[in-house]
């Protein structure tokens, strides 16, 4: 069931020459985790603030839980929207204890506040002394307190702005998984803003990609990765290799050799063959169609990237398993098992 709907939202800041948000529409389902991704300035934070009621659009409407909260310039004030916010720097009050910080979010709560605070802190996995102050906690623990404070009043949706950006790389992987589990356990709907594609891919059920205030695509991670609707989306999740090729009725001539493919007959001018490093395979047998010079092999623990150059020195990258050795090997045979074709000019 849909819990949040945005319809044709436009937002322009008064001093800015361009719209920060351009005709953005999408729905979020109940219990879903949606990641808003995009490079700096793409409009992620603006969109989050529009949903929270901290900014107002020029036009468009937003509904939350069946209630229209924004209709053009008319809107329900932020504090009446039942939206929980987790800020990038957690925004915990330094002079309040963990318990008091979470209790602060419950000012309008009618029941036993103390009990609710303790229940929520346990829910987010905090077993610490609740009378500690924020500075006595690790980054990951502070984030849980911020999440508990946002969740305690039972909001309809939780909005998280760059929730993982203050954590170091080691902690990040663990915290991402924990936060996802907590959100899923409670069944709350969440939108998180991130510029890190790994955050989005590992935490979200669906991902929305923004570029210059325009929504490019919203879909499950696999679809964004495998079926990007445009080159911007395709390149957002890691660069793709490009090989310039000449099509014939039988296949594509490339600087690395000939690729048999009847599909080539559909093209007239030069084309680009686009593929990700994991969509090609380096092989030992020399009856393969493609060959190049090994330029560099980089080891990353769980995989290796082999850079292969054509005669002019133009390189492509192929991912291989970490056990392969390339010592003393000059030439590599490879094939592409999946690629897109685009007209080159």
Ligand X SMILES: Nc1ncnc2c1ncn2[C@@H]1O[C@H](COP(=O)(O)OP(=O)(O)OP(=O)(O)O)[C@@H](O)[C@H]1O
Q: Which positions touch ligand X (CB under 6 A)?
A: 13, 15-16, 20, 38, 40-46, 195
Shortest Å distance, C-beta 194 to ligand X = 9
> By C-beta, is 162 or 261 nearer to ligand X?
162
- Contact (CB, 8 A) for 162 and 195: yes
Give the relative orientation of helices 113-123 and 139-151 as an angle to the nearest 10 degrees: 130
Q: How far is CA 308 from the centre of its chain?
A: 30
> By C-beta, is 137 or 193 nearer to ligand X?
193
Q: Are strands 33-37 and 206-211 parallel, antiparallel or unpaired?
A: parallel
- Pick from 12, 6, 5: nearest CA to 58: 12
Shortest Å distance, C-beta 234 to ligand X = 20
Count CB atoms within 10 A of the CB of residue 143.
24
- Contact (CB, 8 A) for 307 and 296: yes
Shortest Å distance, C-beta 15 to ligand X = 5
Shortest Å distance, C-beta 12 to ligand X = 9
Shortest Å distance, C-beta 128 to ligand X = 31
> By C-beta, is 19 or 339 nearer to ligand X?
19
> By C-beta, is 45 or 75 nearer to ligand X?
45
Q: Are strands 214-219 and 67-71 parallel, antiparallel or unpaired?
A: unpaired
- Contact (CB, 8 A) for 279 and 239: no
- Contact (CB, 8 A) for 334 and 280: yes
> By C-beta, is 75 or 317 nearer to ligand X?
75
Measured distance between the N- and C-terminal CA atoms of the chain, rounded to whole angstroms: 44
> By C-beta, is 196 or 278 nearer to ligand X?
196
Q: Are strands 214-219 and 241-247 parallel, antiparallel or unpaired?
A: unpaired
Shortest Å distance, C-beta 59 to ligand X = 17
> By C-beta, is 4 or 117 nearer to ligand X?
4
Shortest Å distance, C-beta 166 to ligand X = 14
- Contact (CB, 8 A) for 272 and 312: no
How far apart CA 330 and CA 60 sit, in angstroms, is 59
> By C-beta, is 19 or 225 nearer to ligand X?
19
Shortest Å distance, C-beta 160 to ligand X = 13
How far apart CA 266 and CA 247 sit, in angstroms, is 8
- Contact (CB, 8 A) for 36 and 47: yes
Which sign, positive or negative, has the C-alpha torsion 69, 74, 78, 79?
negative
How far apart CA 214 and CA 43 sit, in angstroms, is 8
Shortest Å distance, C-beta 68 to ligand X = 23
> By C-beta, is 152 or 218 nearer to ligand X?
218
């Amino acid at each position: 069931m849909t819990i949040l709907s945005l319809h044709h939202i436009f937002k322009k800041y008064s001093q800015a020459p361009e719209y920060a948000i351009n005709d953005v529409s999408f729905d979020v389902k109940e219990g879903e985790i949606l990641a808003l991704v995009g490079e700096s300035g793409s409009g992620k934070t603006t969109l989050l603030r529009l949903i929270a009621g901290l900014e107002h659009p020029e036009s468009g409407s937003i509904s939350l839980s069946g209630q229209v909260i924004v209709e053009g310039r008319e809107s329900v004030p932020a504090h009446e929207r039942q939206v929980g916010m987790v800020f990038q720097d957690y925004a915990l009050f330094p002079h309040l204890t963990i318990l008091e910080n979470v209790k602060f979010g419950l000012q309008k709560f009618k029941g036993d506040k103390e009990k609710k605070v303790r229940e929520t802190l346990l829910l987010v996995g905090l077993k610490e002394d609740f009378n500690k102050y924020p500075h006595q906690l690790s980054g990951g623990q502070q984030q849980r307190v911020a999440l508990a404070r946002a969740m305690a009043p039972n909001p309809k949706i939780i909005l998280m702005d760059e929730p993982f950006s203050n954590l170091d790389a080691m902690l990040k992987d663990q915290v991402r998984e924990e936060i996802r589990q907590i959100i899923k356990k409670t069944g709350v709907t969440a939108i998180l803003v991130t510029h890190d594609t790994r955050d989005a891919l590992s935490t979200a059920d669906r991902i929305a990609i923004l570029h210059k205030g325009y929504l490019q695509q919203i879909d499950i991670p696999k679809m964004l990765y495998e079926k990007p609707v445009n080159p911007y989306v395709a390149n957002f999740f890691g660069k793709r290799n490009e090989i310039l090729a000449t099509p014939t009725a039988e296949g594509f001539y490339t600087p690395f050799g000939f690729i048999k493919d009847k599909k080539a007959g559909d093209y007239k001018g030069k084309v680009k063959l686009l593929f990700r490093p994991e969509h090609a395979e380096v092989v030992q047998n020399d009856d393969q169609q493609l060959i190049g010079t090994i330029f560099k092999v980089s080891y990353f623990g769980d995989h290796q990237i082999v850079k292969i150059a054509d005669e002019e020195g133009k390189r492509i990258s192929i991912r291989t398993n970490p056990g392969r050795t390339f010592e003393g090997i000059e030439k590599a045979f490879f094939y592409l098992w999946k690629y897109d074709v685009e007209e080159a000019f």
